[in-house]
Structure 1
């Protein structure tokens, strides 16, 4: 991201610092027995990247040690791809405090970096296949850890999708069923309360449902769990049918793999491809923190 527009870190709300405090409290709710053993002698520790991946989660790592009166000096930039073994950062402070923050900081950095790495890799794959539109994550994130996971997606270069239920109005199949089965009624009700600033997206199981949603004024239609070979043709027919009459985006979700990307799953008529594979079941980037022997 260009420096004149800031960095991904500048997106973070101040509330992330409270999250870090909660993580530290969870990890040490009473006495720090190991800290008693080592004492408060000033020490230096090296953060080592032990597996290949994209570094992400720097602000969370920094905040852990800031709250523990330590200083972090980075030797790599966030978003940089590292190969093992890389000296990524140096942490300085009381040895007890370094060890108190070690596991919280490493767990967060490893998870966030894993998501950034998978996001970056999948984005590179879809670009090589010729797909030039939006690759996005989903809202299938870990409760309490969403901010970190969405942050990792952004560092990896993909669209984080909506962050919560208050970001865009998503009408899924259960919403439609619960309000009588009418997509049109559900869209109109959402528009009545969402106002001009809120987009409405409708999850659709067929082209017929998508057409009804578009006719009702939906901003985005999601073709959910269509067969891979049907996606491109269905998206094209919808774009041709409503050309000049309605403006809308088509999202596809479910079943995206590195294999079917190469077999025409995505086409230029698909505006957004969303997948939870970039943040669910993703491997971590391995880091360790080693105290330098004095």
Structure 2
């Protein structure tokens, strides 16, 4: 199993600190009630999910001087009958409860995204689509790292992480610049050779202009399934005849788990879907302190 936790730099620890500070900005009244007794809390999963967000969950409790032992591995597809023990948290009562909701919010959201991504990934394998399926930048402010992490655990591509990762020129960039050609020229002047340039296109003609201007990726936006396949085939054949095949074609706009198979074809290199991170149900986890015997 790939250790996606190795991708994380130290900044995620600061993010976890901010999550904890948000949840307890002043006094912890409930913590005062339960005190400092050593306790064990059992983490249960009560609905289908793909376990994701383990390093964030661990870090919540590490910062509170607690220890987590896992009974499942990150990436496991969990289908509990009733409820299933996933792990245990050891520490002082008030520390466990101090981190409880923050940790559960993280793992519930991350595991829900991973489940959606896993289902799309399994469909991709079943249908034999060889392109890339990616999430989009439509994420929750302050929670992007966790959400993109869930996409990876689920088996899909994160697309660009932020505005600094890749140059994507959408309709507003093009209208502000005057043309696709000018927008690509302006972008290449500052992004250099290290970053790809992608251009959102509404027609084959716009795609041709973007490719001629030097775009690395053309996004065919809001095409229907059959219209997309025809346009992608035409564009690839037209430029192959000119001896140019340096570009990739991405499809985006309104694609969901239910409809994505309609877009699978050999001329599409990338499918991007906002529904991998948007409108995704959380997985139901709970953390219960074991009663004293």
Report the Cα distance in structure 2 between the residues aligned to 1:268 and 1:232, rounded to whole angstroms: 9
1:126 aligns with 2:130: no
- Per-residue CA deviation, residues 4-44 of structure 1 (Å, 9 max, x unaligned), is xxx11111111110111111111111111111111000000
Aligned 1:262-281 pairs, distance under 5 A? 262=261, 264-281=262-279
Match of 2:191 in 1: 194
Matched with 1:26 is 22
1:43 aligned residue (39, 42, 49): 39
Alignment partner, residue 152 of structure 1: 150
Question: Conserved in 2, the CA contact under 8 Å of 1:56 and 1:78?
Answer: yes
User: Who is 2:8 aligned against?
Assistant: 12
**Distance (Å, rounded) in 1 between the aligned partners of 2:282 and 2:15:** 20
What displacement does 1:128 show? 1.6
**Cα offset for 1:291?**
0.3
**Rounded Cα–Cα distance in structure 2 between residues aligned with 1:184 and 1:116:** 38
Find the partner of 1:215 among 209, 212, 216: 212
Partner of 1:277, secondary structure, is helix
Q: CA deviation at 1:95?
A: 0.5
| Partner Cα distance (1:96, 1:147) in 2 | 28
Note the C-alpha offset of 1:127: 2.3
- Equivalent in the alignment of 1:175: 173
CA contact (8 A) 1:70 1:92 kept: yes
Checking the alignment, whether the CA contact within 8 Å between 2:236 and 2:245 is kept in structure 1 is no
Which residue of structure 1 lines up, in the alignment, with residue 52 of structure 2?
A: 56
Instruction: Measure how far apart 1:239 and its partner are.
Output: 0.5
Regions of 4+ moved over 6 Å = none
Residue 189 of structure 1: CA displacement?
Answer: 1.2
SS of aligned partner of 1:73 = strand
Partners of 2:168 and 2:195 in 1: how far apart?
Answer: 10
Point out where structure 1 has 5 or more consecutive residues left out of the alignment: none
Deviations 1:123-152 (A, max 9, x none): 111222221210000001111110000000
Output the TM-score relative to the length of structure 1. Answer: 0.96
Q: Hey, what does 2:182 align to over in structure 1?
A: 185
* Post-superposition offset of 1:259: 3.7
Distance 1:221 1:58, change over 3 A: same
Aligned partners of 1:130, 1:61: CA distance in 2, in Å?
Answer: 35
Partner Cα separation in structure 2 for residue 259 and residue 72 of structure 1: 37
SS at match of 2:98: helix
Per the normalisation by structure 2, the TM-score is 0.96
Aligned to 2:159, the other structure's residue is in SS state: coil
Deviation at 1:265, TM superposition (A): 1.9
Equivalent-residue separation in structure 1 for 2:67 and 2:206 (angstroms): 56
Deviation track 1:221-272 (CA, whole Å, cap 9, x = no partner) reads: 000111222011110111101112241000000122344334x322110000
Number of matched pairs: 288
